[in-house]
Amino acid sequence: MNMLFILAVILFVLMVVIGGRKGARSFIALFFNFGVLLLTILFMTDPHVNPVILTLIACAIISCINLFYINEVNSKTKTAFVSTVITIAILIIFINVLTKMSMIQGFGEEQIEELNIFSLYIGVDFVKVGTSMIIMSTIGAITDVAISITSPMREIFRHHPNISRGELFKSGINIGRDILGSNTNTLFFAFFGSYMGLLIWFKDMTYSLGEIVNSKVFTGEMMIILCAGIGIALITPIAAWINAVYLVRRREKAASSQQE
């Protein structure tokens, strides 16, 4: 516990020194998001609650915390939030179909031994829980990419106020392309870092490559990475287009009001 406190203090000091007030808000936002996740898990165990709807509400709250609380309410956070909502709406349909077809919900055979003492008849739809898990795993990456695109686009627009909508959109796409590769690799290595023990266990059990790929635990985690990657790819043009339209339209309104 003491070591956790020391690490938290070090993180807070570094975030404040480097990020200033925004760094302090980012540190506090970690606890807000953690609280939202705990409440989501608490209510998700209720059989009368739809886990997918509950997850969407939680994702909306997390997006507001990550965007509006940390970066305040402005044009870049507004367009990033709208882009996040549109991307999640597209993904929810795709993820729901994917979860049903792949049957990755529930527990794998590697987890059965630890769960033998528990009853699995808890009245919760594990298909919806699996869908919720994938959605919740993608929301952080999606909001991160959204603000990473809209923020530099606003800077470009401020330094080049006469830039056209097409050129601004193209700039956003170019920014997104750089982010796409790095974020996808980050998700990939985060999986292998957190599941290194599982991979070593697969090796000790002499699993073949086919058995590893077809393992429910491995497949489920890989699908989370792939869905998050798809979300990152989708939000790049969505955020770039919405932000370009918003900024240029605001410029046109300002010009017309000055003429009047």
> What pLDDT does residue 121 have?
62
pLDDT digit string (tens) for 151-206? 888 888 888 888 888 888 998 898 888 888 777 777 777 767 767 777 777 777 77
Name the average pLDDT for the chain.
81
Q: Using an 8 Å Cβ cutoff, are 138 and 80 in contact? A: no
Per cent of the chain over pLDDT 70 is 87
Nearest CA among 235, 223, 222 for reference residue 140: 235
Global pTM value: 0.80
> What pLDDT does residue 91 have?
85
**What is the DSSP annotation of 32-96?**
HHHHHHHHHHHHHT-TTS-HHHHHHHHHHHHHHIIIIIHH-SSHHHHHHHHHHHHHHHHHHHHHH
What sign does the dihedral 116-117-118-120 (CA atoms) show? positive
What's the CA gap between 195 and 215, in Å, rounded?
Answer: 13
**Average pLDDT value for residue range 50-59:** 85
**Average pLDDT value for residue range 139-144:** 84
What's the CA gap between 168 and 156, in Å, rounded?
Answer: 8
Q: Which residue has the higher pLDDT, 86 or 221?
A: 86
Per-residue burial over 83-115, b if 16 or more Cβ lie within 10 Å, else e, is bbbebbeebbeebbebbeeeebbeeeebeeeee
Q: Is the pLDDT of residue 96 over 60?
A: yes
**Average pLDDT value for residue range 30-57:** 84
Contacts of 84 (CB under 8 A, 6+ apart): 63, 67, 139, 142, 143, 146, 235
Phi-psi region of 3 (alpha: psi -120 to 50; beta: other; left: phi over 0): alpha
- What are the domain boundaries of the chain? 74-103+128-255
Q: Which residue has the higher pLDDT, 194 or 3?
A: 3
pLDDT digit string (tens) for 103-136? 666 565 655 665 565 656 666 667 777 778 788 8
Q: Using an 8 Å Cβ cutoff, are 220 and 106 in contact? A: no
> What pLDDT does residue 241 have?
93
